[in-house]
Each structure stands twice: as C-alpha cells, then as structure tokens.
Structure 1
Amino acid sequence: MIALPKRLFAEGYGTFWLVFGGCGSAVLAAAFPGVGIGLAGVSLAFGLTVLTMAYSIGHISGCHLNPAVTIGLWAGKRFPAKDILPYIVAQVAGAIVAAFVLMTIAQGGPDFVMGPTSLAVNGYGIQSPGHYTLMSGLIIEVVLTFGFLIVILGATDTRSPSGFAPIAIGLALTLIHLISIPVTNTSVNPARSTGPALLVGGLALQQLWLFWLAPIGGALLAGGAYRWLAGEPAAPAMVGEPMLGADQ
C-alpha cells in the first residue's frame, strides 16, 4: 500500500497536468494564427494528459485526476470512502495551481485579455461556446460522465486485458471533448471546472454548481450500473497495480 501523502501528491500533480495541458491547449494554441489546433486538437490534448499520467502515476494513486472519477470508483466498490475527501482536495488544489500558472503565462502574450470566458471555463447559456441551455448542459455532462466512468470501470476491471486501460480512457476523454466542447466547453470533471472558474469569477463561478452536480451524478449512476452489469471482479484491484482507478 503506497502511503496516502504520496498518492495525494500524485493526484495533485496529475490534475495539474490535466488542467494545464488541456485548458492550456485551448487558451494558448487553439486559435494561434496559422497553426491553431482547433477543437480536435484541444480534444486530443485532454485525452493525452490522462493517457500520459495514467502510465506515469496510475500505479501510485490510480490516476483519478477528477472528483467524479473518485466518487464513481467508490460507487463501483473500487475505492475506500475514507480517502474520497483527501483525493478531492488534492485534485482541486492541483487544478487551481494549474489555472494560476496558465493565467500567468497567458498574460505575457500581447493579445490576452482576461474576460468572462477566459481560461477555458465551463458554462451554459451565454457562457456556452454554442450558447446551449442549462438543460442541454446538464444532460450532456451527466451522459458523458456516465460513459466515461463505464469505460474506466470496464478498462480497469481485472478481467480486462492488462496494460491497455490508459489508452481506452484517454481516447474516451478525447471523444467526450469532441462531442461536448460546443455545449459546455466540456467538464466531466469538477476539479477541472473549479480551477479556471475561481480565477475568472463572475458568471463562470456562479455556474460552477452544475459542473459539480452533473459529473458526480453521472459517476454515481455509472458505478451502480457497472456493478450490476459486470458483477464483482474475480479479484479486487489493489493499490500499486498499474491500472487507472485501481485503488482498493
């Protein structure tokens, strides 16, 4: 069993990597003249952050990087209740630091102006990239987080082929962003939403509740659904195994 402080550091750093890499691609590279990476590039960047961290720290902390993933794994009987709060605190702290570092870098550019949609904040209504409604945002965040947790729980099941979980999970997050960036700028991760919203403030902070409620709701549904669908694994996943989500 790897000591909790080490796991928390891994979770904090991994979430920093996800927010800095994913949101950083949107803020610094998405619309760069001549070589802008666009929606597809930002989607791939988010997927790559999870894939690279899963192979790097998956054997240390499980590489959740997301409060909804932590809670969904608990609902799927893959994670102990006593470690939920420390994991979430570490994840949110990593996201806040990443947002601050990204803002500091972006402010060094000649065209950056801190506004209500800066730092790739999530939102609905006028905060949505496509001006989608609250109901649209709620539905897509629940549905996609549910799907994300099903992929995570299935790919990290001890009965699944070993060593390939990070690839499936990274590609799933890429797909999720390809679908939902126009709707909410894609959360499925309360920590990822919290870091930028705290710095931008205003409407982004007022709408933050949705990006905690919807992902956690989708994750809880997925945890119960996977337990019903697949039954109990042949052997419990243990901390230290190189599989994302294997923390019990």
Structure 2
Amino acid sequence: MQKSLAEFIGTFTLVFLACGAAIIGTGFSGLGQAGIGLPGVALAFGFALIGAAYGIGAISGCHINPAVSFGALIAGRLSVAEFIQYVIAQCLGAIAAAFVLYLIVQGKDGGYTGGFATNGWGGPGGYNMVSAFIFEAVATFIFLVVILGSTHRASHGAIAGLAIGVVLVAIHLVGIGITGTSVNPARSLGPALIDAIRGNGAALSQLWLFIAAPLVGAAVAGFLFRAELLFHRDLPK
C-alpha cells in the first residue's frame, strides 16, 4: 500500500507540475509575460521527476511511469504483482492530476480553449506515425538505460535522481516538436482522457502509440540488463 500510494503521489506530481507547465506556463504571454517556452517545459518535466525521485524513491523506487515499471519487470527487479499495482497507481495518479488541472483552467476568464499537453503526431509538428513511434521507442530505451544503470548496485545511487531528471530534460528538448514527448504511458493517458471530455478526441485515438512504443523501448533496455549485457552481477557494489 505504501508503494502504491507513493507511485500515485509521484505520478500526480509529475503530471500536475510538468503538464501544468505546458498548459499554463506557456500561456503567460497573454498576461504580458514571455512564457516559459519549450526549454521551460522540458525543465519542468526534469525538475518534477528529480523532486519526486528524492521524495519517494526510498519507498517505491519512484517509477511513476508504466514503461519504467515494465523495464524493471523485464530486468528482474520487480514482481508481476508489484508491476500491476504500480501501473494502476500510476494511471490513477496521472488521471487525477489531469483532472485537477482541468478544474484549474476552467476558472480562467473567458474560459480555456488552449491545448491540454496531450501527445500525438501530425499537427503543427508535421511528423508522421512512423517518426513518432521510432522517437518514443528509442527515447524510452535511452531513458531506461539511464534509470536501470544509475540505480544498479554498482552505481552511485545517491545521484541517480539527478541523472534521470537531466536525461528526461534532454529527451523533451528533442521530442516536444515530434510528439509532445511521452516516454510514459500514464503521462499520456491522463491528459488524453481529460481532453476527450473537453471534446477533443484526437489524442485519445492516438494513445495506443504512446503505450506501445514506450513499452517496446523499455523491454529492450530491461532485457539488456537481465541478460547482463550492460552490467554483470559480479560488479562490485
């Protein structure tokens, strides 16, 4: 229960702060301010993850991402029962955070008609489905290599959260223009469901890719660690 609650809170934190930055922070220009822009959104995702990592990492490992939990399952670091519990908590946390953001933007003068930090392909970015799938799979693979490597017993675990957060920033700097950057099925699920409630169903129809591609990338990374092709069990602590 403690681990599930930690994963719920951690995923809520990530979606609320990072997707909130994308939804609200980029709209500051209408208030006479410059807005945070793409780098600001990328930093928000990284900073939110770093904070969550040091807040709940000792409780649940701070996966806050079904793809991370799937990679850990494949790598042999998580049981099937824990994987199911983690994913349920993560998805509920993401949905709850997206709903709270929806309640907040409803209070905007004149109503809120902007985007809702959903993931997708096509649109302004112009990238097709193949490009989106390749990016999400490769980026998640890189993300999981950093996570599984930095949390390995032979690594310096005290700075793992920082390393993971920094690579997430880099991933967003590359991917925001392609898919909006997911590498996290729960992060995609929450905003997509709420956007469908708002009458925009496009993100929900494309959600399958942001589940499938991250799981593929995570599985490959998890297999490399399970097969000890990157880290061997005899490495010193």
The TM-score normalised by the length of structure 2 is: 0.92
Task: Map 1:101-140 onto structure 2 (within 5 A).
Answer: 101-110=100-109, 112-114=111-113, 118-126=115-123, 129-140=124-135
1:35, CA displacement in angstroms? 3.2
Corresponding residue for 2:218? 219
Deviations 1:130-182 (CA, angstroms, capped at 9, x unpaired): 12100010000000000000000110011112300000000011111001000
| RCO comparison, higher one (Cα < 8 Å, 6+) | 1
**Conserved in 2, the CA contact under 8 Å of 1:64 and 1:70?**
yes
Task: Map 1:1-248 onto structure 2 (within 5 A).
Answer: 5-33=1-29, 34-110=33-109, 112-114=111-113, 118-126=115-123, 129-201=124-196, 202-226=201-225, 227-232=228-233, 234=235
Deviations 1:46-84 (CA, angstroms, capped at 9, x unpaired): 001110011010000110000000000111111112211
Identify the range of structure 1 (222-231 vs 51-60) with the bigger mean alpha-carbon deviation: 222-231
Cα distance in 1 for partners of 2:221, 2:111 equals 39
Cα distance in 1 for partners of 2:192, 2:52 equals 23
Cα distance in 1 for partners of 2:20, 2:185 equals 17
Cα distance in 1 for partners of 2:52, 2:9 equals 9
Cα distance in 2 for partners of 1:152, 1:161 equals 12
Structure 2: segments with no counterpart, 5+ residues? none
1:111, CA displacement in angstroms? 5.3
**Conserved in 2, the CA contact under 8 Å of 1:66 and 1:190?**
yes
1:113, CA displacement in angstroms? 3.2
Corresponding residue for 1:243? none
Identify the range of structure 1 (81-90 vs 205-214) with the bigger mean alpha-carbon deviation: 81-90
Q: Identity rate of aligned residues, in percent?
A: 48
Cα distance in 1 for partners of 2:219, 2:212 equals 11
Taking structure 1 as reference, are residues 29 and 38 closer, same or farther at Cα in structure 2, changes over 3 Å only? same
**Conserved in 2, the CA contact under 8 Å of 1:47 and 1:174?**
yes
The TM-score normalised by the length of structure 1 is: 0.88
Structure 1: segments with no counterpart, 5+ residues? 237-248
4+ long deviations beyond 2 Å = 110-115, 231-236
Aligned length: 228
1:233, CA displacement in angstroms? 5.9
Question: What secondary structure is seen at the aligned counterpart in 1 of 2:229?
Answer: helix
Question: What secondary structure is seen at the aligned counterpart in 1 of 2:107?
Answer: coil
Taking structure 1 as reference, are residues 159 and 19 closer, same or farther at Cα in structure 2, changes over 3 Å only? same
Deviations 1:181-227 (CA, angstroms, capped at 9, x unpaired): 00000000000000010111211111000000000010000111233
**Conserved in 2, the CA contact under 8 Å of 1:114 and 1:200?**
no
